[in-house]
Each structure stands twice: as structure tokens, then as C-alpha cells.
Structure 1
Amino acid sequence: MKLVVVSAGLSVPSSTRLLGDRLAAAVVGVDASVEVQVVELRDLAVEIAHAFASGFPGRKLAAAMEAVAGADGLVVVTPVFSASYSGLFKSFFDVLERDALVGKPVLIAATGGSARHSLVLEHAMRPLFAYLRAVVVPTGVYAASEDWGAEGLAGRIERAASELAGLMGGLSRRVAAPVEPEGFVVVPFEEQLAALRG
């Protein structure tokens, strides 16, 4: 299976890229068969702008778009600017083919200087990917400056990665057959109803 990390971090090194890498590593920890590819939007900024103006993606942008469309799952990470995702992040998803993300499992994540911006996941990112008809995992991961090295971030990363790996692998892989405790018998409703009527 192929996992693509889309990182909109601008600096080098980037906490946004670091969060994307940690999420990808956690997914691989759940399923070692997952292959990871990273798309750095910083390197595609000029081609994204040209694609808006001309309607045609450049060579590197086209390769990134193809990787995203062909992925079995995505980790998308953006820094928070003006209480929302970055313009570069949004622009990349604006130039994608209209149906590129339909039914695709997506883990949303963001980084910011303050915990006050953590709702960007629910108020900006989740609606964007719902509009694109992706399947967004329940747990999003936000990392403020104070979260790095603090308790809690690692647990959120593990939980979100496990949810994404489960969706990428399909529901049948992670739902085990129900186990009935000893002495406990499940009686179908129809049989119970028939017994009451008889």
C-alpha cells in the first residue's frame, strides 16, 4: 500500500514536515507493508501558481498530483496561518483533479505556535476534505510549540495512525469475528419474537 504525506511547511527544518514524518512512521509501525512518499509543497509553489494561470501543471507538480491520486491513503499537514490552513496548502488541493480524493482515507494534521489554533482541524481542514469527498479519519493531530516532547502528542499520533492504517487496509482486516463468552448464546430477534408469539 502507498501512503503519501503532503506537507505545506515552509521552513527548513519544518515542524510541519516533522509531524508528517512522525505520523507516517506510526502508520508504518501499524502496517509494515506501507510505502511512504512525501510531497513538499514548498518545492512546488511556483508550479502551483503557474498551474492556476495556465491551467497546466509543470512536470514536478504533475508527478505530485499523480502520486496523491494514486495513493491508498494521505497524511496532510499544514502550518496554521491566520487561523486556517496555509494558502499554499489550499492551492495544491485546488489544482488537483476534481475527483482525485473521492473515497480516499485522509489523516488531517496541523502545526501552530499556540494551542488556541487547534480547532483549525475541525473548522477548516475537515470541511475541506469532506467537500472533496475524502474519508477523514476521526482523530486529527494538532501540534503546538509546547506539544513537542510533551505528554499526549505521541498518543494522538499513534491513535490517528492506527485509524488511517485500518481504513487503508479495509474494514475487513480490522474487524474480527465476534467472540461469544462461555454460557452466552445470541438468539436472533426473529426467533425471540416467534417464541413470544408462540
Structure 2
Amino acid sequence: MAIAKAERLMNLALCLLGTRRPLSKRELRGSIEAYMEAGNDESFNRMFERDKDDLRELGLVIETVENLEGDTGYLARRDSNRLPPVALDAEEAAALGLAAKVWQQARLAGAASGALQKLRAGGMPEASDPYEGQHSAIEPRIPVHEAAFEPLMLACRDRRPVVFDYRKSTAARPETRQVEPWALECWRGHWYLA
């Protein structure tokens, strides 16, 4: 998902969750910058309907309400959109802690750490490592020294094609290649793009 669309969806979700009364399309258009920039009513309506469908597909319960004047409004009640309590046992919490440690060298270290803090605040048990003492010298790491790692990881996540120069071992000069990345795999300290 493109960053602009993700930001637009997040802004729409926040508007719908942050109101106590249904908001009309006109009010939503006036509150969200991307909607204000929509060229005309038709393009705004298409964008809004797609965004609303995407949020519903992601699990947000959006109510459509008609007021006394016949205008349609939208809202997402907080009580209808609460996540269930986090219910992880100690082994599951330890596995998540171990997974977060794997990313400590990458740019994702902050996100992984923040996610663990949020899960703990939501009730995840503070994990004691069930293997503590047995493997204390082993610390999982994913080497991410290659500059291309992050852009390729994001392209895999977003299912977005990438273009780069590539030189075959038999060629004197690099050629431009366009690929649709499926996955990044680490094998013996080197990253491979599938």
C-alpha cells in the first residue's frame, strides 16, 4: 500500500473513531487533506468509497447512519472496534521477544521494540526466556548491511516492482532490470531476492 494511501486511510479511521456523531461526506472531505485535494466531487466520491471499503476489509466497523434531514453520515463506534485482550502464554511472549531481537540491527528495531511495549501494555506477560541459561551466548541477528535491503524489503511488503542496475558475471556493463519481488531470503549471511 502506498504511503499516501495508508496515511489517508489512517486519517479517515481516526476521524470516524474520534467522533460521537455521524460525519457527512462533506465534513470528512473538509477534514482530510487528501480529500480536500481531490479534483472534483466524482473523484472524491470514488476515493472515499474505496477507502471506506478498504477500512472495512481491514476490520473497522463503519456505520452508515441517515439523519432526520435524510443526509448520510458515517462513524466507527469505539465499542464496536475494540481489539480483544492480548492472550499470550509465556512461551508465545518469549517467541515474540526473540523475534524482536532479530531485528535489532535493522531500521525495524524501533518498530519491533515499540510493538512489544504496546503488547505488554495490552496484557502480554513479561516473558522470561524459557531457555535462559541454556543458550545465553546465542543472540539471533539478521545482517542488514546491504543498502538495498530496506528498499527491497518494503517493495516485497508492498508488492511493488523495483528497477535497478544489475551486472551479470559474464557482462562488462550492468543492465537495467525490473523485477516483481516476492520475498527476501537470508542464507549464510547474504540476502537473496526471489
Select the structure with the greater relative contact order (CA < 8 A; seq sep ≥ 6): 1
What TM-score, normalized by structure 1, do the two folds share? 0.22
What TM-score, normalized by structure 2, do the two folds share? 0.23
